[in-house]
Structure formats: structure tokens, C-alpha cells
Amino acid sequence: MSTLFQPFATQLDFETGKLNPKGKVIIRHLSDMKGMYLDEGEFENQLKKNPLIYEVYNVVVPETMPHIQHCVTILHPGKVGKEYFMTKGHYHEVLDRAEIYFCLKGKGELLMQTKDGEFSSLEMVPGTVAYVAPEWAHRTVNTGEEPFVFFAAYPGDAGHDYGGIETEGFVKALVEQNDKPTYIENPRYIQAVK
């Protein structure tokens, strides 16, 4: 056998969104998202039950170039007050690394922003292939009533910078108003210091 990295395949179950083999699993509960939801009282209330918010199944490949990281996220339905369940969101540690999101199941929104405070969002339904361009932070939000499942692929060395979003927050938040997902300005958003 050559010294080259060997090709391999992973099986994705379209029903559950899970991978086989499972790879590296990341499970985030509400308690992992302190300070991220607008309604702090409702956040504290729901901490008693500490619901599962999302699961990420990562295929294990080296976190270096020229490899391609790939994974599936299962974002569960629910709300904290009026605000829909969402991922933490991040910039890539190597800021100019892009990413592709491919929606397999459920529905949601992909929120993106730059360090200059520019904001963009895309609706995600099964079949949507979204391009997260270089330098855009990204967060997903489940606006539906079933799990929102998407596949992602990104350069091996991208890494994740969560600190930026923990400090800044997102420009906008997605809340239910008159039974519809509605964007509102996030009063706690602070533009990044560059």
C-alpha cells in the first residue's frame, strides 16, 4: 500500500441524519450556550430541563490542508422564549476559509456576518446548497417543527473561532412573531474590534 492517505466512505442515514461510523461527536445542550439567547429569564427557566439543542457528527480526517473536513449537524426544533433554537456560530480560525452547507431535512435559516458588521441570511430547505464565503461568521437556526439537518464541508485547516461571536453576538436574532420567523435587531450586538 502507498503512503498516501487512503480513500474511504461514510454512510449518512437520510432518516436520522446520523453518520456511520459516527466519527467525532459534539453534543450541545442549552447549558453550553450561556449568554447567547435574548430572553435570559426564559434561558434560566429552561436550564432546569437543559434540552439538547444540536448534535454534530464529524468524519475524522486530519485538520490540515489539503484535507476536507465534513460533517452533519442535527439542529433540534424548539425555542427559548420567542427565539428559535440555534447553533453557537463561529468565524473560522483561519478567517478566509469558506464552507458549503447542504440542507437534507427540515428547514431553517443560515445567518452570516462579517467583522465589519455586514449581515446576510439565506433560507435553507431540503436541496439548498449554501455557500458561506470567506470571512463570514455563520450560525444556523431551526425555524421548523422537525430536526433541521445539513451536511457541511470546509478546508482542513479552517478551525473554529467561537470567542468572536461569544463577545460580539449576532447582528440579528430570529424570533417568532405572529406565528412567523421574524428577524429583529440584537440589542446586545457589539461590532468586532479589528
Number of H helices, E strands in the chain: 2, 15
Please identify, among the stretches 1-9, 36-44, 88-96, 104-112, the one whose residues bind ligand PAN according to the rule CB under 6 A.
88-96
Place of cell 480513500: 7
Tell me whether residue 85 or residue 154 sits nearer to ligand PAN (CB atom): 154
Q: Using the rule CB under 6 A, is 24 a contact of ligand PAN? A: no
Per the listing, cell 449554501 goes with 130
Query: Could you say whether residue 29 binds ligand PAN (CB under 6 A)?
Result: no
Scan residues 93-132 and list those touching ligand PAN (CB under 6 A).
99
CB 86 within 8 A of CB 140: yes
Q: Which stretch binds ligand PAN (CB under 6 A): 17-25, 35-43, 86-94, 115-123?
A: 86-94
Q: How far is the CB of 150 from ligand PAN (least distance, A)?
A: 7
Q: Which of 22, 29, 67, 160 binds ligand PAN (CB under 6 A)?
A: 160
Give the binding-site size for ligand PAN (rule: CB under 6 A).
13
Report the nearest approach of ligand PAN to the CB of residue 4 (Å).
25
User: CA–CA separation, 33 vs 35, rounded Å?
Assistant: 6
Q: Which of 74, 90, 101, 116 is nearest to 33 (CA)?
A: 90
Residue 143 near ligand PAN by CB under 6 A: no
44 and 127 in contact (C-beta within 8 Å)?
no
C-alpha cell at 98: 469558506
Q: Is 138 in the site for ligand PAN (CB under 6 A)?
A: yes
- From the list 2-10, 41-49, 94-102, 174-182, the region that binds Zn ion by CB under 5 A is 94-102
Contact 61, 67 (CB under 8 A): yes
| Continuous H helices in 107-193 | 163-168
Residues that bind Zn ion (CB under 5 A): 99
